Amino acid sequence: MQTPLKLTIHGIDHSEALEARIHAKVAKLEEFFEHITSCRVAVEMPHKHHNQGRQYNVRIDISVPGNEIVVNRDQAEDVYVALRDAFEAAKRQLKDYAQKLRGDIKTHEPKRMREIVDLGEEVSEDVGEDVAEDSGDK
């Protein structure tokens, strides 16, 4: 990564274990896709009503050449579950991005619309004669 990880933890106690887990998850992403230029991770517990329990929000912003991948996961009651879900989503998005770069994802040409040709009254008259022959009105 060209710029170091930017980590923000807000509204929860900062722990070395949490920070180590985030660094390990980011390192896994770098192993998976080596062209990450920067990564920002924000973990927070927004102020909500106490009857909902603890709800954590994890936001991951990953800069890659020509694109930025953003993952925002919230509503998990365990901060480590929120981290797992967010980093799994980031890995899926990085995988999709890598496939596009390699050309693994096929792009389909737009379907061609068939052109309707107006043949004029000649066809209408011929069709009318065929119908008359089928009905026995000669």
pLDDT digits over 83-101, tens only?
Answer: 999 999 999 999 999 888 8
Report domain 6-102's class. alpha beta
Question: What mean pLDDT comes out for the span 21-29?
Answer: 94
pLDDT digits over 111-128, tens only?
Answer: 666 666 666 655 555 555
What pLDDT does residue 106 have? Answer: 59
Question: What mean pLDDT comes out for the span 64-78?
Answer: 87
What pLDDT does residue 66 have? Answer: 87
Q: What is the pTM of this model?
A: 0.69
Q: Which string of b and e fits 99-121 if b means at least 16 CB within 10 Å? A: eeeeeeeeeeeeeeeeeeeeeee
